[in-house]
Amino acid sequence: MRILKVDVLPSRAMWGISGKSVITRTRLLTPLLVVVMAACGAGTTGGGGEERQTPAHASSQSATTTTEAPPSSPATPTPTPTPTGPEPANCPNGKLLPAVESPAVHADPVTIPEAKVGGTTIPAVTIPGVDIPAQRIPAQCTEIAPAPGGCLGAASIPPTSIPAVEIPPVEIPGVNAGGIKLDPVRADGARAEAQHAESVSTPEVCQVKPKNGGIVPSILRPSILRPSILRPSILRPRACNDQNECVPSVTVPSVTVPSVTVPSVTIPSATLKSYKVGESEVLQGDDSIAFTLKADVLFDFDKAVIKPAAAAELKRIAQEIGEKAKAGAPIAVDGHTDAKGDDSYNQSLSERRAQAVVEWLASEGGLARSRLQARGYGEAKPVEPDTKPDGSDNAAGRAKNRRVVVSTIT
């Protein structure tokens, strides 16, 4: 498992359907649940036999070849719409982060009427008002990308920004006429700079066993705050000369732009329990389970026909799923190969092997065919490197990559 240098987390996605993760909006104290986890497993070490597939072997396959195409499973989630794009109304693979509103701020202009003192006309003056439009931080989605059984889906929290805001300075002009002298009165403007929180993410991880106790580190986008700003009120007092000619007092009220907070978002860590039962490697989370069988246990070299010797193990897996799966939950059967041979052939072989297991589980294992879904990933989701650091062949690693994973919700 890769430990990511991020302040935050993944949760879990599996079987090509959205996982659940928990998202906590701490500032709003509104817990939003988004729990994501996926069983991630492969066979144990061993199995050094090579499986070099080439298109020339295609005719040797006798199993059915009808299967569903593999779903899209990006290494990183699709970006959330930008503030200038459309806002999401719902989030199929994550949780909706509601929009944050900053209300409009308005202050009327202040008019100082014309005055005559000592034979001098002091012209009327209008001090501009303040209009700051409402601002909206758009709604966004966290995302947990769909992933095959035995893998933890990529997770991401999008970036967010609070725009800058500014109140302009203001001045009441002075008076120096007809024996009245008043200095100008001024209030400085105020500005709150824009605030920004970067996006955070974790990649999809496929693994043989969880490391460090099976804990995938959580990820966090911290809260951000644009503080409130204030331009204080100012007053020019009333003043009169010896002839009792006066200029009135003038007040420009204070202007306040309230603070804006975008709450923090957390996708918490996911914990998987790994154990071995029979020929299967099992990864179990709070609401999912995945059984991983090495392809070498199920099939002969370069074949997609279930070995008679594999029947007992498949029967045990079918029984466990029957006992532990949530009623009516879909059951994903994912085929994987190593990277030897042609990509397109490996893809086809993984699909045919997944379909062969589906057919066996439906006809011999007693599982409803309508719940079973075959998917092939070819060589795209390895759990071990196919080569060693020195570039030599990693036969044991390739044996782990050749696998079939049966997973469901519990």
Give the mean pLDDT of 330-347: 94
pLDDT tens digit string along 216-263? 667 888 899 999 999 999 999 999 999 999 999 999 999 999 999 999
Please work out, in degrees rounded to the nearest 5, the angle formed at the alpha carbon of residue 139 by the alpha carbons of 135 and 142: 145
- Cβ contacts of residue 327 below 8 Å, gap of 6+? none
What pLDDT sits at residue 134? 95
Is the distance from CB of 124 to CB of 176 less than 8 angstroms? no
Averaged pLDDT of the chain: 79
Q: 3-state DSSP call for residue 362? A: helix
Residue 314, both tokens? 């498949």
CA distances, 280 to each of 115, 290, 298, 313, 349 (Å)? 95, 9, 11, 8, 21
What pLDDT sits at residue 207? 62
pTM over 0.85: no
Query: Predicted confidence band at 273 (pLDDT cuts at 50, 70, 90)?
Result: confident
Give the mean pLDDT of 397-402: 91
pLDDT tens digit string along 279-294? 888 888 778 889 999 9
Q: Give CA torsion, residues 85, 88, 91, 92, to 10 deg.
A: -80
- Helix (H) / strand (E) containing 361: helix 343-363
pLDDT tens digit string along 101-157? 999 999 999 999 999 998 899 999 999 999 999 999 999 999 988 888 877 788 899
Query: Predicted confidence band at 308 (pLDDT cuts at 50, 70, 90)?
Result: very high
pLDDT tens digit string along 25-65? 333 323 332 323 333 333 333 333 445 444 434 333 333 33
Find tokens 């700051």 and name the residue: 132
Find tokens 């045919």 and name the residue: 352
What pLDDT sits at residue 217? 63
